[in-house]
Amino acid sequence: MKEYERKQLLERVGREAATIGATIPEQIEVQGETLELQQFVFEIKRRDTVPAGERERVDEAKKNLRRERNDRLERIEDGEISYEEGDALANSIIGIDRALDALEQLGPADIEQEAARKEAVDQKRWMNFLKQALGKDEGGARRGSL
């Protein structure tokens, strides 16, 4: 895959609005096991809150989905794959993000943990805004400078 193609895929995956209109994959391979992801998410989402007995199962699924997302992202970042493989990985990452968003909306198990997560997301968004506003690239150098 060419460098600009890799960057395009990473940018697409990193967009805040990437999950809008995205579908949750029916099945996904996570940690060597096939997970009926769409069915699992819809089953859990039918309830307003997750019962205490199901909370551990949902938390474990979210943890495994995050790990799988990071593994797939690393494969794109490494660039040792074809563009077609990268495109498929990017689509699957967006689907995983969509599933995670749906599972996160079920209501936090721990209010303090949820507040910390939201603060971290806000801080990341703020830092990205500052980088763009100041015209700095990923390495800290000003864009357009030599």
Higher local confidence (pLDDT), 142 or 93:
93
Q: Is the pLDDT of residue 69 over 80?
A: yes
Could you give the count of Cα atoms lying within 13 Å of 63 in the half-sphere of its Cβ?
Answer: 6
- The tokens for 43 are 């089953």
Pair (84, 21) in one structural domain: yes
Number of domains in the chain: 2
Together in a domain, 126 and 94: no
Q: What range does the domain containing 17 cover?
A: 3-108
pLDDT tens-digit series, residues 26-64: 888 887 888 888 888 888 877 766 666 778 888 888 899
Q: What gap in Å lies between CA 56 and CA 46, rounded to an integer?
A: 17
Residues 8 and 55 in one domain: yes
Provide the β-strand partners of residue 142.
136
Check: pTM over 0.75? Answer yes or no: no
Same domain, 91 and 139: no
Closest CA to 107 of 61, 50, 64, 66: 50
Closest among 118, 105, 96 to 48, alpha carbons compared: 105
- Of the candidates 107, 99, 109, 104, the one whose C-alpha atom is nearest the C-alpha of residue 42 is 99
Question: For 131-140, what is each residue's pLDDT tens digit?
Answer: 888 886 655 5
User: Same structural domain for residues 8 and 56?
Assistant: yes
State residue 1's pLDDT score: 83
DSSP 100-116: HHHHHTT--S-HHHHHH
